[in-house]
Amino acid sequence: MALKGGSLLSCLARNGFRGFNSHLQRHGVLLQQRVIEFRQLMQILAMFMIVQFFGLLLASQAYSGLSYVQVKSAQVISSSASAFIYIIYIIVITAVLLLIFRIYKGNKLYLLLEAGVVLVSSFFVFLIGIAAIFHSVAYNLYGPGNIYIIGSSIALAAILVAAKLKMPRLRNVTAMMASVGVGLILGISFSFIAAFVFMAILAAYDFVAVFITKHMVALGNIAIDRNLSFLVMVNEFKAVPESSLSASDRKEFEKDRSQIIKRGGILKSLAKKDLVPVSARTALGTGDLAVPLMLAVSAYKVYLNFVLSFVIALGAVLGLILTMTILARLKRPLPAIPPLLFGICIALAIYLGITLI
């Protein structure tokens, strides 16, 4: 799911302004808005591409030196029916999380949940990475000589979790590591057909969860409010002249001006200069990072090379650009997996068209 948020800035474009100076200010604010949106698109796109291509790099190490039989033996989900079962698991887990979020008002449980996800998923990232450094085959790491690799991977994953608790600004780093780990685990476990069916079902579920039941939006807002590593987010603050706002927005700002001044700091200095602090943020869920990687990793098993995997990754990038373009226009939460799947299908169609000619 892709989220677009902010205060005041998102409603500037739909309000009228009076006078030539206000007209110029309006265009200046809108230009600032477009610059922010483009910059945020580039940052989200960069993080998305890092996850996809770093994940494929690790997958190449995980598959290195393995025979076709060994690659297939690591695949535990080969049928489309199994993909439906995993969707049921996701729905049940989501329902449980929503129930917990409604009842539990503390913070420790959320931190434990985040720590568990990041610890397990990043462990596999470190495991494959360290195994590659020491030229060990990730498929067979359970010999006595490789206990140090497993121990080091656990230690590094624990350090990453502790670092996020100490420095909350590392959220994007831990979210990306978790996405790579989940994408790798699922991609190695799923056959290509099962992974494709799984993503297609997830696309339909994502559409329902965002537009109809809206529970995915609620989960996304909880992750943002609590700074959890279940999404990557770019958050920026800008100051715009109060005179450039509509009458209703100015009225809203005046209600909060005294509270802003009481808080002190930079917000106080902005308010005294008749400048309005405006926030703008763009977020993308870790599932939207991990699912395309899962499909790309599973595609290796088709021809035992990564050509098809790179085609899928490039198609996912196309789908994300489409998502961000629509998000910039509509400024409302969007399901990201459907356009990601659409971009992947276009890339696969072009690839098949070229290879069959």
Contact 316, 344 (CB under 8 A): yes
Contact 180, 55 (CB under 8 A): yes
pLDDT at 14: 31
Contact 72, 139 (CB under 8 A): no
**DSSP calls for 3-71:** EEEESSGGGGGGS---SHHHHHHHHHHHHHHHHHHHHHHHHHHHHHHHHHHHHHHHHHHHHTT--HHHH
Contact 321, 213 (CB under 8 A): no
Question: Per the structure block, which two tokens stand in for 9?
Answer: 């800035």
Distance of CA 258 to CAs 149, 267, 284, Å? 57, 11, 34
pLDDT at 15: 34
Q: What distance in Å separates the CA atoms of residue 87 and residue 44, rounded to the nearest whole number?
A: 26
The three-state secondary structure class of 246 is: coil
User: How many CA atoms are closer than 13 Å to the CA of 41, on its beta-carbon side?
Assistant: 19
Amino acid at 231: L
pTM for this predicted structure: 0.82
Q: What distance in Å separates the CA atoms of residue 272 and residue 294, rounded to the nearest whole number?
A: 51
Question: Per the structure block, which two tokens stand in for 345?
Answer: 């299908």
Helices and strands, counts by H and E, the chain: 14, 3
Q: What distance in Å separates the CA atoms of residue 324 and residue 343, rounded to the nearest whole number?
A: 13
Render each residue's pLDDT in the chain as its tens digit; 357 residues: 776 655 443 332 333 333 434 443 444 555 566 677 788 889 999 999 999 999 999 998 888 777 777 777 767 777 777 778 888 888 888 888 888 878 887 888 888 999 999 999 999 999 988 888 876 655 554 444 578 888 999 999 999 999 999 999 999 999 999 999 999 999 998 999 999 999 999 999 999 999 998 888 888 888 888 899 999 998 876 666 666 666 766 676 677 667 666 666 666 666 666 666 666 778 999 999 999 999 999 999 888 889 999 999 999 999 999 998 888 788 788 899 999 999 999 999 999 998 887
pLDDT at 11: 33
pLDDT at 59: 92
pLDDT at 83: 76
